[in-house]
Amino acid sequence: MKELDKIGIGAAELFLSGKDHVIVPEDGYSSFSFPKLIKLMKFDVKRYRINGFGNMMTMRTDGPFGMQLLTMSFMPFEGNSVPYLLIDIMKMRKKRLIFVEYYDCTAEKPEQPLLKKVCEKYTEVPDYAEKPAWYIGERTDYSMIKSLEPDSKVRLSSIAADSIRAYKKAAFSAEKSGANLSGLLGFRERMINEGNPSSDILKKVFGEKGAADFFRECVMPDN
């Protein structure tokens, strides 16, 4: 089993453990490829509905030249006063990147000491220089955009697990407010209309409307 498969499975087990949840049945979004005939990129999507929180999605992608991608989305559609969390991990040859992105769409923007503590733990891991994008400025300052050197003693799985463990504790102990949903759904529409890291490939796979539907149904669902 590949490293990112293990991380995705472990992340789901960690976040779902002890929580009442259901697995979303497989459908046309669960497994797909691009292009359909050559299948240079293969996608495997798993979705979960979690009582007391909302939704979790994992999407594993295998691409050409040994590229591996893992996207994990944590959508607090029950109104929990925590940021929306998006984790992206990439491996390709010697490159290992992990993006732990927090987008605070809550009404009151409460402090998140648990999430900040994890960020502080990995301060010495080098940051990755991204290309400019509108959503970068929307992240919290305790987000982590990291590039791990080949000889790094830090593991991708450790950063992911520490982040998810802290987020789970923060999310399930947070207060809830319906006022949080307008900001969350507004941010979702910006991700669809202004672009997100997966926009280009999803539009090629599903078309523009289909890509928007995928984002609303899988990445950031509100039901």
Which domains are seen in the chain, by residue range? 3-219 (3.40.1500.20)
Q: pTM for the whole thing?
A: 0.96
Q: Return the pLDDT at 62.
A: 92
Helix or strand or coil: residue 45?
A: strand
pLDDT of residue 64: 85
Low-confidence ranges of the chain (pLDDT < 70): none
Helix (H/G/I), strand (E/B), else coil: 113: helix
- Residue 93's pLDDT is 83
pLDDT at position 1 is 85
Rounded CA separation 46/44 (Å): 7
Separation between Cα atoms, residue 220 and residue 223, nearest integer Å: 9
Per-residue pLDDT at 71 = 97
How far is the CA of 109 from the CAs of 112, 141, 163, in angstroms? 9, 13, 19
Any bridge partners for residue 8, and if so which? none
Burial group, residue 93, by CB count within 10 angstroms (0-12, 13-18, 19+): exposed
